[in-house]
């Protein structure tokens, strides 16, 4: 495989048979398991021949620059702590401590943790409810405009695109609105690392974007990327990433990111195009979210079922393990690693599963009253309590059933009677964490 600066540098150094009087403790000798044995050879610490992730430059910097070009962004930082590390770093860059944030209600829990750590004051962006598909739809540029006019002090906006269900928002249109107000757009694109290899320039209009290579590309768990436009330098990314990342990042994971990009450019992109074709055929032949419902990732397969959890259990019994299910959906993540035999097996299994229209889930209720900031809620003493006994209490953690996959109650909000009634109506009866 060509043009893999980091992987090549690590192999070259390992081939010199250096006497490793440094970390890690395996000293390059095979790890005590056949599945892991070969990783040790290129697992180094920060040395002149191997480079330092948070110092910049060297073979790591070269590999990051090649990824930035893939996404048509100005800079890229390798993440070995997943998109969680990237989301924390991105909001640290976008939001001064104590400032306001316009936040997509469906953002990952790391965004709520970032708000607590930075003492941010959220204003939540609602998503439209798509009744036919029983999911929330794209973020509206008009709604963003409305909220920024109502809250001119807010200069940072964070949204998720694509969502877990594959719904895409119009990033260029949102960026145009936000930039007109002098703001910064952060995109949690954890589920969209593959989109450039399908010819979709989904992220380049954003100021900061986070993608999980491991979710949709041939890369190991926790490997991810933090990408930035010209507003934030590579030095900015390194400084913020170092706050939340290990000072001993995994060299095999970073080498895997380097190899992943080269593989995708050489053959993976063509394989992903075939995956998109297979998913389009499955969407035609089985009940599923389609572009008729919302703009979608071409490869996310969100099946519709009157009994989503039962459909998931049936698939698992047939040896097919979905990513997730809720009362009306089963979410599958086909990637370029799935070949013709995999899709044939999937199709055969789907023919044995009850699929069809979703139940008529109601839209989420109006937002509850905000009482505490996310920081006050997260760091307050708390206790677990059944929802039916939590009326009037303040949530310490999000209450986020699927669907809609967004918090019905966010940290610091009061748990109201109408909220409990809604959650009961959709069959959500888990305990919740309250502030005491």
Q: What is the mean pLDDT of each run of 10 residues along the chain (436 residues)?
A: 91 96 94 89 95 96 98 98 97 97 92 96 93 94 97 97 97 98 97 98 98 97 96 97 96 98 97 98 98 96 96 98 94 98 98 94 87 94 89 90 80 91 82 82
The alpha-carbon radius of gyration of the chain (Å, integer) is 22
- In this prediction, residue 436 carries a pLDDT of 64
- Interstrand relation of 224-228 and 208-211 (parallel, antiparallel or unpaired): antiparallel
- In this prediction, residue 109 carries a pLDDT of 87
By CB atoms closer than 10 A (0-12, 13-18, 19+), residue 166 is: buried
Sheet containing strand 75-79, edge to edge, reads 75-79, 224-228, 208-211, 184-188, 156-160, 100-104, 121-125
Give backbone dihedrals phi and psi of 185, rounded to 5 degrees, phi first. Answer: -105, 120
- In this prediction, residue 264 carries a pLDDT of 98
CA distance 399 to 356: 28
CA distance 121 to 403: 26
């Amino acid at each position: 495989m060509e043009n893999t600066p980091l992987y090549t540098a690590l192999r070259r150094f390992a081939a010199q048979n250096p006497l490793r009087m440094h970390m890690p403790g395996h000293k390059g000798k095979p790890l005590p398991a056949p599945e892991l044995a070969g990783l040790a050879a290129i697992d180094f610490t920060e040395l002149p021949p191997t480079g330092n992730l948070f110092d910049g430059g060297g073979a790591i910097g070269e590999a990051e620059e090649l990824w930035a070009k893939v996404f048509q962004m100005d800079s890229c930082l390798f993440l070995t702590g997943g998109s969680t590390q990237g989301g924390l770093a991105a909001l640290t860059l976008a939001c001064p401590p104590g400032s306001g944030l316009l936040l997509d209600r469906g953002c990952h829990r790391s965004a709520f943790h970032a708000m607590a750590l930075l003492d941010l004051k959220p204003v939540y962006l609602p998503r439209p409810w798509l009744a036919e598909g029983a999911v929330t739809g794209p973020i509206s540029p008009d709604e963003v405009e409305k909220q920024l006019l109502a809250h001119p002090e807010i200069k940072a906006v964070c949204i998720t695109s694509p969502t877990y269900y594959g719904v895409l928002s119009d990033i260029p249109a949102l960026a145009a609105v936000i930039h007109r107000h002098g703001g910064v757009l952060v995109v949690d694109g954890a589920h969209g690392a593959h989109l450039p290899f399908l010819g979709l320039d989904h992220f380049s209009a954003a100021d900061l974007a986070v993608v999980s290579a491991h979710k949709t590309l041939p890369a190991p768990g926790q490997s991810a990327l933090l990408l930035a436009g010209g507003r934030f330098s590579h030095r900015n990314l390194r400084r913020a990433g170092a706050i939340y990342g290990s000072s001993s990042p995994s060299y095999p994971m970073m080498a895997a990111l380097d190899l992943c990009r080269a593989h995708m450019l050489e053959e993976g992109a063509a394989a992903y195009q075939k995956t998109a074709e297979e998913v389009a055929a499955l969407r035609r032949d089985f009940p599923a979210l389609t572009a008729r419902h919302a703009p979608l990732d071409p490869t996310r397969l969100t099946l519709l079922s009157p009994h989503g959890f039962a459909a998931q259990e049936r698939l698992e019994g047939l040896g097919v393990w979905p990513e997730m299910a809720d009362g009306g959906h089963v979410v599958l993540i086909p990637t370029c690693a799935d070949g013709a035999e995999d899709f044939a097996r999937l199709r055969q299994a789907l023919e044995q599963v009850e699929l069809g229209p979703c139940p008529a889930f109601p839209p989420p209720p109006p937002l509850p009253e905000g009482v505490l900031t996310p920081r006050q809620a997260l760091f307050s003493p708390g206790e677990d309590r059944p929802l039916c006994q939590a009326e009037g209490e303040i949530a310490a953690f999000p209450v986020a059933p699927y669907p809609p996959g967004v918090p019905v109650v966010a940290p610091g909000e009061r748990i109201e009677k109408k909220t409990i009634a809604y959650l009961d109506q959709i069959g959500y009866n888990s305990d919740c964490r309250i502030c005491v």
